[in-house]
Structure 1
Amino acid sequence: MATSTEPGTQPPHPRTATGTGTGVRHPSRAAIATRHLRTDRWWLAPAATAAGLLAFIVYSTWRAFANADYYAAPYVSPFYSPCLAENCAPMRSGPNWEILGSWWGLSPALIILVFPLGFRLTCYYYRKAYYRGFWASPPACAVAEPHTSYTGETRFPLILQNMHRYFFYAALPVAGILTYDTVLAFRDEHYAWGHLGLGSLIFLVNTTLIWAYTLSCHSCRHIVGGRLRHFSRHPVRYRLWGWAGKLNGRHMQLAWASLISVAVTDFYVYLVASGAFDDPRFF
């Protein structure tokens, strides 16, 4: 049955006409028939984000369970450092503590990856990225999400996002260990100092990006300068807060750059360890 309207008026939205609907379809909201008024390709950003994150998930899962080709003197993959199980490949480069003994039979990467993975999963930027990319919550600015209800991060498992600060504490020593690996990457295969290969530079870039991403974290910025009533009484913390704030302004870019760099570094070690090619040496 057709609905007649007066000239110059908009026909009521089907849901608002019946008094039902949630979110943007609630009777108290404007009765706009279209889902949104955006005419640009708004879906490109969440689609590209989902594709990028999915590619890293597939690659890192393969490498984490591979349990092979993660050490090529003097390089050790960042996915496997520090190596805490007895089944680690024999290393003279990088932390190889074997503190878990022989009972751990799976890939040693599964022990250490939980800390940087937890740090990134609970990161404020990555939450936005995968909420939009995978869950369409919301898919983009000014685009209504398809979900009928919203509980926020108050229920399991999303309530675990509140552990971000603690994962930040765990990420700091991991970044420190990767820095140690980078220093050792400037030794040759005989563990003599003075080596500079392509892998040395890749490790240096990766460690720099890892530190930049870690220190640009919102939790780091709050820890450095939060809960201060007078910055003038804490000039050192104020200076550190300012530096953290500048890095925080590039948090998204650093999140992607460090994610790509850690995958590239691991893949480079894989190529050298598997014999695909020799590490080019500059001197």
Structure 2
Amino acid sequence: MATMTKRAVIADRTLRTDAWWLPQLATALGLLLFVGYSTWRAFAGTDYYAPPYVSPFYSPCLAAHCVPMRGGADWAVFGDWWRLSPALLVLIFPLGFRLTCYYYRKAYYRAFWSSPPACAVAEPHARYTGESRFPLVLQNLHRYFFYLAVPVAGILSYDAVLGFRDGAGRWGHAGLGTLVLLVNVLLIWAYTLSCHSCRHIVGGRLKHFSRHPVRHRAWQLVGRLNARHMQLAWCSLFSVGLADLYVYLVASGAFADPRFF
């Protein structure tokens, strides 16, 4: 009778010889950079409107003490009682969408919690409960944050269109800020539509694609975006930060917005 062979005992944490920790380090630094910058800007409450540009961190402006915006999404639904930065009222929606995103989960689980550190690298934690307990069970809210992220992207699209005006509100003009806001909103839409929840909404729960040709075509298009979800997540993350930084620099008087026509 053949003897049972035991599983090989490998004492090393990993047999990988490459610098597997570099992507995790770069991810941690990138996320910390954005979190630090966005926290500062979110609590600042100033220099977020430089006609006709409005920072994506502050749109729509929902507090009564918002800077008056000519034609912008300025809805004082929270009245006078909210005295903190207006950005704190709206950033919760895109923040929740990104925080629960499937890609970002992988990114910060690995970068900050080493769960796992990388492929084929032993996890240092003794137990694994997945996302079945609080607070990680809240990750299941991702699909609902998607529903909230879509109208926010729509409002930012409106802001980008308003960028084709001059400071006096006349149409038919454009500056460098117009291009910055336009590129940013295109990347935000690409990231939002590449979401796994969006792919499921468009083509999920269909038994016969042949009976739904329009949804099948849309599912294919979203699937192509979904294949680039990681790249779009990073590009849109930094584009929204750069868009805010640009508006801040113009609004604070650091430089004048170059006008093309």
| Coarse TM-score class (shorter-chain normalised) | over 0.9
Provide the TM-score with structure 1 as the length reference: 0.90
DSSP 3-state at the match of 2:143: helix
CA distance in 2, matches of 1:202, 1:30: 55
Of 120, 124, 132 in structure 2, the residue corresponding to residue 154 of structure 1 is 132
Is residue 104 from structure 1 mapped to residue 82 from structure 2 by the alignment? yes
Q: Which amino acid aligns with 1:222?
A: H
Matches within 5 A, 1:1-283: 29-283=7-261
Structure with higher Rg: it is 1
CA change 1:29–1:166 in 2 (3 A) is farther
CA distance in 1, matches of 2:8, 2:124: 17
Residues 166-218 of structure 1 deviation map (CA, whole Å, 9 limit, x = unaligned): 00000000000000000001110000001110000001100000000000000
CA distance in 1, matches of 2:256, 2:194: 35
Residues 7-60 of structure 1 deviation map (CA, whole Å, 9 limit, x = unaligned): xxxxxxxxxxxxxxxxxxxxx753112111000000000000000000000000
Q: Which amino acid aligns with 1:251?
A: H
CA distance in 1, matches of 2:7, 2:26: 31
Which structure 1 segments of 5+ residues have no match? 1-27
Q: Which amino acid aligns with 2:195?
A: C
DSSP 3-state at the match of 1:35: coil
Q: Which amino acid aligns with 1:263?
A: G
CA distance in 1, matches of 2:77, 2:204: 36
TM superposition shift of 1:94: 1.6
Q: How many residues align?
A: 256
TM superposition shift of 1:93: 3.7
Residues 90-127 of structure 1 deviation map (CA, whole Å, 9 limit, x = unaligned): 11142001111001011010000000000000000000
Q: Which amino acid aligns with 1:33?
A: A
CA distance in 2, matches of 1:197, 1:165: 36
Contact kept in structure 2, 1:73 and 1:93, CA below 8 Å: no
DSSP 3-state at the match of 2:126: coil
CA distance in 1, matches of 2:157, 2:113: 35
Provide the TM-score with structure 2 as the length reference: 0.97
Q: Which amino acid aligns with 1:236?
A: V
CA distance in 1, matches of 2:85, 2:114: 34
Partner of 1:18: none
CA change 1:29–1:115 in 2 (3 A) is farther
CA distance in 1, matches of 2:249, 2:123: 43
CA distance in 1, matches of 2:11, 2:206: 49
Q: Which amino acid aligns with 2:229?
A: H
What RMSD over aligned residues (CA atoms) do the two structures have, in Å?
0.8
Which structure 2 segments of 5+ residues have no match? 1-5
Q: Identity rate of aligned residues, in percent? A: 74
Q: Which amino acid aligns with 1:159?
A: V
CA distance in 1, matches of 2:149, 2:15: 42
Contact kept in structure 2, 1:76 and 1:93, CA below 8 Å: no
